[in-house]
Structure 1
Amino acid sequence: MLGFLNDYYATPSLWSVPRSAQRVLEALNRWLYRQTRAGDAHLCTLSVLVLRGGRAHLFQVGDSRIWRLREGRLECLTRDHQRPLGGTRVLTRAMGADPRLEVDYVSTGLLAGDRFLLTSDGLHDALATEELAQGMVGPEAPALLAERLIEAGRRLGARDNLSCQLLCVDSPGSADLNDRRAALDERPLPPPLRPGMELDGLTVERELHASPRSQLYRVRDGDGRTGVIKAPSVNLEDDAEALQRFALEGWLLARLRGPHFPRPLTPPRPPGCQYLYLEYIDGVTLDQWAREHPDAPVEERLYLADQLLNGLRALHRADVLHDDLKPDNLMVDRHGVVKLIDLGNAHPRGGDRPGSTHPQGTRPYTAPERARGEAPSERADQFAAAAVIHEMLTGILPWRGHYRRAAGRPLPPMTRLNPFVPHGVERALARALSARPEDRFHDVAELRAALRRPGPVPRAAGGDPEARIRLWRGISVVLLVLLLTVLAVK
């Protein structure tokens, strides 16, 4: 059990409980199975109870049990994996018995006052259901009540292993995404804000951005500290899917850590309507940066590309897919750090995500398979990042954004547009922009590594289209003279 706890809490916080528990249990089962195959029997039963947000998650292998006492009624929430054989009972499922693990999973809501009891077969075979229920209540601490249940089992002559754990729920948690959605649903949408207006102790200074989906306002608190309010547009009042995505973005930002994501702040007063309160990023969007720095050297642009891939790698390591990378969703702060500022279309893998399966990204940066309606993936994000980097280096999108017509065609030479793009960078982006996802890099870390080894920078003349035209004209003249000479000889 200690191994499960250590490994479970080492999984990414954005993973769902079933995903985290299943990964950990499978790894533990493989280790136990190897020990058993080596001759050292490591078969065991396992019951796991995880409380997260407003729900209880139960995982069961073997014949231990998990009980719930609610309003005086005791209910067993698990089923035993055993069958009778020769007058005794044998396990049909156990940890370490098979390399492939089959786990029963149950999820149930929590109520204040719920009590959960985990028991080994020695205890629940010795005590009747009524005796277990009576032993679970009382003014004593749960640990003391559990010890008394063990003592009762011993008095009744239980011969098998006696163990139990008792857990009392004072109040359900509220960190779960579903709980966050429900809490947001209870709050109204904020009205359009104007400079000087106050919202929950925050004074609006000016509007930073407005779109059909959201508005961003620069605000300051009573101590003069600056922040940003991101509010859903009033146009979304009847769009439940869009509001769910807005709730998901706040939930993700509250759990992501690192320099490439906006930092959530706590407003002076509890929010009275739906919005996100985030740190103010002193910088510009990547699109605006490109317009303000038309003569920036390739090295500086590649540094920003490296920052972008660092942020995307951190997102993928947290098991989240962005699915809407584009220059307007990226900011460059005054320290040159690229930040992923819009996660409204993100997909946390292993967890529920609101919304349809239709493409969510912005078409000029959307991978071909996503445009066809396939599921989002790390390699689709990689394609979008490569498209952004290509545009940053050359000023235009690869194949000018016509990916369907360009299927199977090589990437046009980038040196025609920017003669200082290293050949290694061009080769790396060509691979990341492959029409077939399986032909791209394994992950964005590999793409980043390839861009960090760009090779020599081409000479400007070599990349000059006019120079190449003059070269081929010269070669053509020489070939024509040779041909006329041969004909004259004949």
Structure 2
Amino acid sequence: MLLSASLQVSIGQHSVAGRKALNQDSFGAYLPKEPELSSKGITLAVADGISTSTVSQIASETAVKSFLDDYYCTSDAWSVPHAALQVLKACNNWLYAQSRNGPFGSDPDKGYVCTFSALILKQRHAHWLHVGDSRIYLLRNQQLEQLTRDQRVWRGSSSYLSQALGAGAVLEPDYQSIPLQQGDLFLLATDGLFEVLPEAQLITLLEAEADLPLLALQLTEAALAAGSQDNITLQLVRIDELPADSILPLCLDQQLPLPPMLQTGDMLDGLRVIRPLQQSSRSHVYLVQNTNTEQLLVLKAPSTDLAEQPDYLERLMREEWIAKRVNSQHVMRSASINRPRTALYTLFEYVEGQTLKQWQLDHPTPTLEQVRGIIEQLGKGLQSLHRSEILHQDIRPDNLMITPQGIVKIIDFGAARLAGLQTDDEVAGDIPGTALYTAPEYFLGLAGTERSDLYSLAVLTYQLLSGRYPYGADVARAKSVKAQKKLRYQSVLSKDSELPIWLDLTLEKALHPDPNKRYQALSEFLYDLRHPNAEFQKPLSLIELHPLWFWQCICVLQSLVILWLMAAAN
């Protein structure tokens, strides 16, 4: 058997609409280079839209693309099944929400639904996940084995899918794993192929041709010749060379251990500790240097006190996934090293500069233009998160950095929520973030939305301009709709303030306790911070135009009334 530094494969794939007008199938493959090849593996995926839906081709395309993209964004510390299941769960929830909230809510068979099968080849093992009735086969030693189980329920001569991606809120995909052998040939296919080609013919065809792209075309033509009436999609992957045992990580599919408490000068996976940055009961954060590249990085490890809390560990490792999903200069990026990890931790770029909290100490009375510049940059970072269906949920000065070049970055994702992925305690109404910046709806036990992040950004704007908070500590105590209706916005203006009235009205709208009465888009709030909104350009009252003259007149009138009353009494 040939052993090499890394896994080597050959791939062939083909897809046609066949005799149908529309091809509802989708497929994809990703062959990464090192270090991703060893840490994440090679991934192939195929999806088949169901014929009763007019939008299932969108579902199949979304399923394949999101799986291939998101799997490689998950933490290297996650096992293959855990990472793949988390990604597939998020995709299922997104598809299900599109159907439920659209015109197909009452009939899921017409919504965003598809079958899905994925094969992940990592190191010397094959892993597969499966939902529906697409299939994965293995040809080994002239024996063809169907690895997946058709998830169909038969009623007499008719049948229906017992499970499909996007068909329901709960997903239970099949998962299995086997050791690889050199020469293994895997076939991923939709039912347009295997329903018309018997197993014996499949074996003959698979053994007759070594050129996999040509073989994929020949299999498609054979299925059409056999009378296939469906879309035909197939992928072939052959194991040409296996990697040596010596490059296997410490633990292939089990939980990695927590790192010990680190001190300056300690080494971990080729990372030298420069100094601790932060120590708390929840996590330990260190400035480290990659000894291969001399790049400075930030290593975040869970506290040993929380080693037995899987939900916390899950959220910690999810931070790295979130950072990989977002590409913005205003959001901290994740980092990677060219070697397997031996412990559970996350890695991020090192952002040089100071926190916004430190910046505030140096600038206790910032100008309106300085505040706008900070908030607009943060807004761009939040918009990038929201485009990736991520809520930050903890915007506050401690979680924001300002570089020497003046770039503002979001640096912490400990409270962030990724669409479709909530742990049990998050679903139960766990209040994220810091109370003074947390949106009122969280205190009602409601899930957050993009308008919740907008509220936090508006609180930060208010606090930078005034040093105060719009409702003080009353928001955290208002845990009912009735109590929140009693909240009264305190104007950001003061007697010495030179801020325009329309800016105060902009903040008042963004900080409304009812999320439905706030700005509906972050871009609207950012625009109104610089441009007077016509909605707020109502005619000013006499007291607003001439406050001193107004109160002088009131005093004169009071004096005249008193004199008249005294004269009438005599």
TM-score, normalization: structure 1?
0.74
Distance 1:393 1:208, change over 3 A: same
Distance 1:393 1:417, change over 3 A: farther
CA distance in 2, matches of 1:52, 1:25: 28
Task: Tell me which residue corresponds to 2:516.
Answer: 438
How far is 1:137 from its partner?
A: 6.0
Give the residue type in structure 2 aligned to 1:68: I
User: Mapping of 1:110-129 within 5 angstroms?
Assistant: 111=177, 115-119=186-190, 121=192, 124=194, 126-129=196-199
How far is 1:143 from its partner?
A: 4.2
CA distance in 2, matches of 1:354, 1:338: 33
- Which of 177, 197, 205 is residue 274 of structure 2 equivalent to? 205
CA distance in 1, matches of 2:271, 2:228: 65
CA distance in 2, matches of 1:274, 1:209: 17
Distance 1:343 1:128, change over 3 A: same
Task: Tell me which residue corresponds to 1:96.
Answer: none
1:18 is the counterpart of 2:92: yes
CA distance in 2, matches of 1:355, 1:381: 20
How far is 1:288 from its partner?
A: 1.5
Task: Tell me which residue corresponds to 2:437.
Answer: 365
How far is 1:197 from its partner?
A: 2.3
- Which of 57, 77, 82 is residue 150 of structure 2 equivalent to? 77
CA distance in 2, matches of 1:259, 1:324: 19
CA distance in 2, matches of 1:344, 1:195: 25
Q: Give the 3-state SS of the residue equivalent to 1:195 in structure 2.
A: coil
CA distance in 1, matches of 2:506, 2:416: 25
Q: Greater relative contact order: 1 or 2 (C-alpha under 8 angstroms, separation 6 or more)?
A: 2
User: Mapping of 1:58-77 within 5 angstroms?
Assistant: 58=131, 66-69=134-137, 72-74=144-146, 77=150
Task: Tell me which residue corresponds to 1:350.
Answer: 420
1:107 is the counterpart of 2:180: no
User: Mapping of 1:48-447 within 5 angstroms?
Assistant: 49=117, 55-56=128-129, 58=131, 66-69=134-137, 72-74=144-146, 77=150, 79=152, 107-109=173-175, 111=177, 115-119=186-190, 121=192, 124=194, 126-129=196-199, 131-132=201-202, 135=205, 140-150=210-220, 158=227, 160=229, 163-168=232-237, 186-222=255-291, 224-267=294-337, 269-351=339-421, 353=423, 355-356=425-426, 357=428, 358-403=430-475, 404=478, 407-416=485-494, 419-447=497-525
CA distance in 2, matches of 1:187, 1:162: 43
How far is 1:394 from its partner?
A: 0.8
Distance 1:115 1:208, change over 3 A: same
Q: Give the 3-state SS of the residue equivalent to 2:325 in structure 1.
A: coil
Q: Which runs of 5+ in 2 are unaligned?
A: 1-24, 27-56, 71-86, 105-112, 122-126, 241-248, 535-545
Contact 2:311 2:423 in 1 (8 A): no
How far is 1:66 from its partner?
A: 1.9
CA distance in 2, matches of 1:51, 1:475: 82
Contact 2:353 2:401 in 1 (8 A): yes
How far is 1:17 from its partner?
A: 3.2
Give the residue type in structure 1 aligned to 2:507: L
CA distance in 2, matches of 1:477, 1:245: 62
CA distance in 2, matches of 1:324, 1:125: 52
Give the residue type in structure 1 aligned to 2:173: S
Give the residue type in structure 2 aligned to 1:362: T
Contact 1:11 1:20 in 2 (8 A): no
How far is 1:57 from its partner?
A: 5.2
Distance 1:275 1:102, change over 3 A: closer
Q: Give the 3-state SS of the residue equivalent to 1:480 in structure 2.
A: helix
How far is 1:128 from its partner?
A: 3.4
Distance 1:301 1:151, change over 3 A: closer
CA distance in 2, matches of 1:296, 1:153: 71
How far is 1:200 from its partner?
A: 2.5
TM-score, normalization: structure 2?
0.65
Q: Give the 3-state SS of the residue equivalent to 1:328 in structure 2.
A: helix
CA distance in 2, matches of 1:297, 1:183: 54
How far is 1:419 from its partner?
A: 0.7
Give the residue type in structure 1 aligned to 2:289: R
CA distance in 2, matches of 1:367, 1:109: 40
Distance 1:372 1:137, change over 3 A: farther
Q: Write out per-residue CA displacement over residues 349-371 of structure 1, whole angstroms, 9 at most, x where no aligned residue.
A: 13455643321222222112212
Give the residue type in structure 1 aligned to 2:399: N
Q: Write out per-residue CA displacement over residues 169-227 of structure 1, whole angstroms, 9 at most, x where no aligned residue.
A: 759xxxxxxxx9x9796322222222222322322222222222122222233354322
Contact 1:363 1:371 in 2 (8 A): no
Give the residue type in structure 1 aligned to 2:174: T
User: Mapping of 1:432-471 within 5 angstroms?
Assistant: 432-454=510-532
Larger deviation: 266-275 or 131-140? 131-140
Distance 1:233 1:102, change over 3 A: closer
Task: Tell me which residue corresponds to 1:484.
Answer: 562
Contact 2:66 2:91 in 1 (8 A): no
Q: Give the 3-state SS of the residue equivalent to 2:414 in structure 1.
A: coil
CA distance in 1, matches of 2:233, 2:563: 100
Distance 1:9 1:451, change over 3 A: farther
Q: Which runs of 5+ in 1 are unaligned?
A: 31-44, 60-64, 94-100, 172-179, 457-467
Distance 1:195 1:149, change over 3 A: closer
Q: Write out per-residue CA displacement over residues 338-389 of structure 1, whole angstroms, 9 at most, x where no aligned residue.
A: 2111101211113455643321222222112212221122122222222222
Contact 2:257 2:344 in 1 (8 A): yes
How far is 1:248 from its partner?
A: 0.5
CA distance in 1, matches of 2:172, 2:238: 18
Q: Write out per-residue CA displacement over residues 148-176 of structure 1, whole angstroms, 9 at most, x where no aligned residue.
A: 54565577x637568452434759xxxxx
CA distance in 1, matches of 2:328, 2:471: 34
CA distance in 1, matches of 2:340, 2:228: 55
CA distance in 1, matches of 2:98, 2:378: 31
Give the residue type in structure 2 aligned to 1:394: S
Give the residue type in structure 2 aligned to 1:422: P
CA distance in 2, matches of 1:183, 1:191: 21
Contact 1:228 1:278 in 2 (8 A): yes
Distance 1:391 1:417, change over 3 A: farther
CA distance in 2, matches of 1:338, 1:288: 13
**Cα RMSD between the aligned structures?**
4.3
